[in-house]
Amino acid sequence: MATTSRAASSTSKPPGLEVGLTGGIGSGKTAVANMFAALGAAIIDSDAIAHALTVAHGAAIDAIGREFGDEYIGADGALDRRKMRDRVFRDQSAKARLEAILHPRIREQASEQAKAAIGCAPFVVFVVPLLIETRTAGHRMERLLVVDCSPTTQVARVCARSGLDAELVRSIIAQQASRSERLDAADDVLVNEGPLEMLRPRVQRLHSRYCEIARERAGCV
C-alpha cells in the first residue's frame, strides 16, 4: 500500500486536506461519500459534474454534438447516455475524444467547488471513479482512499441495481483499473463486502483521522 503523500505545491494548495475517493463499479463509493458528507466533509463528485455537463443545455453538449454528431444528443437536448456508452465501449478513440471534452471541464468545476469549500468543511473528498485510470485531479490528492470489494460482489451489486447484463458488467470491470492496481496506489482502504452499516464506524474513524491531518496542516495543533 502506498504511503507517500500526493500533495501539490504549497503555492497552489489551499489549507485543509484533499482526499481522493475511488473504487471499481459497484464498490460502494457513493455510499461512503454520503457517510463522509453526513459527518461534515465537502464532497465533490466527478460523476455528478459530468452529468450536469451533459444534461440539456449543459456546458459540454454543444462540443459533444460537434464531435460526434447530433444523433448522440437525445430529443430532450441531453446526451443520449446509452448510445454514447455503447459507442465508447467498442471504440477507444471515441472514448478518448469524449474524455478530451469532459475532463478539462470536470477539473475546472471541481477546482471551483474546492475553493468554495475552504472554511466550510474540515476536508474535501473528490469522488473520482476512474482516478487510477486517468489520474484526473490526481495531483491534488494528499490521501487516496479506495473502496474495495471482490469482482463477484461488483457484478452482483450492479446487476441488482441497474438490471445490466452480467457479461456487460464484467466488460466494464475489465476496462477499469485492476483491483490490485487500486490497492497498490491506496493510502487507505475500506473493504465493503457486507452490509453498509458495517462501513459506518470505519468511515467515522477515517473522518476523525482526516480532520486531525487537516488541523495539523493548518497549524492548529
Please report the pLDDT score of residue 135 as a whole number: 62
**Cell numbers at 150, concatenated:** 471482490
Q: How far apart are CA 22 and CA 127, in angstroms?
A: 6
Q: How far apart are CA 30 and CA 130, in angstroms?
A: 14
pLDDT level of residue 12 (50, 70, 90 thresholds): very low
Nearest to 22 by CA among 142, 179, 147: 147
Q: Which of 12-26, 116-130, 133-147, 196-210 has the lowest mean pLDDT?
A: 133-147
Please report the pLDDT score of residue 55 as a whole number: 97
Please report the pLDDT score of residue 90 as a whole number: 85
Q: What is the pLDDT of residues 148-197, one digit of tens each?
A: 999 999 999 999 998 889 998 998 899 899 999 999 999 999 999 988 88
Q: Which residues on adjacent β-strands are paired with residue 22? A: 146
Start-to-end C-alpha separation, the chain:
27
All structural domains of the chain, each given as residue ranges with its CATH number in brackets, are 18-41+123-216 (3.40.50.300), 54-120 (no CATH)
pLDDT level of residue 40 (50, 70, 90 thresholds): very high
- Model confidence at 26: pLDDT above 50: yes
Q: What proportion of the chain, given as a percentage, has pLDDT over 90?
A: 69
In whole numbers, what is the pLDDT of the chain averaged over residues? 88
> Do 58 and 52 contact (CB within 8 A), yes or no?
yes
Please report the pLDDT score of residue 10 as a whole number: 34
- Model confidence at 130: pLDDT above 60: yes
- Model confidence at 2: pLDDT above 60: no
Please report the pLDDT score of residue 175 as a whole number: 87
136 or 219, higher pLDDT:
219
Q: What is the pLDDT of residues 76-86, one digit of tens each?
A: 999 999 999 88
- Model confidence at 221: pLDDT above 70: no
Q: Are strands 42-45 and 18-22 parallel, antiparallel or unpaired?
A: unpaired
Report the pLDDT averaged over residues 112-139.
82
Q: What is the pLDDT of residues 93-123, one digit of tens each?
A: 999 999 999 999 999 999 999 889 888 899 9
